[in-house]
Amino acid sequence: MRSSFLTPKQLSKRWQIPIATLRQWRWLKKGPPCQKIEGQNLYRLEAIEAFEEKNLRQHTTMTSNSLKKP
């Protein structure tokens, strides 16, 4: 089975954030994991979806930490 990947441009469009934010997250090791394939940074779709699920919020006053069970 072949994995689907998104480029930083595609992911920035999906999340409506600047590509520079993704670049900074890679440098800070935040955000979804990124793979460098043939010199291009790519994000595995499964990793993006897992990151989205992990960071879901019920409303804007909740942080992702407040969703974790003790």
**Domain locations along the chain:** 5-57
SS3 category, 5: strand
* Amino acid present at 45: L
Helix (H) or strand (E) holding 50: helix 45-54
- Reported as a single tens digit per residue, the pLDDT across 22-70 is 999 999 999 999 999 999 999 999 999 999 999 877 666 655 555 454 4
For strands 5-6 and 40-44, give the pairing: antiparallel
CA 66, CA 70: separation in Å to the nearest integer?
Answer: 9
For the chain, the C-alpha Rg in angstroms (whole number) is: 13
- The reported pTM is 0.74
SS3 category, 68: coil
| pLDDT on residue 1 | 52
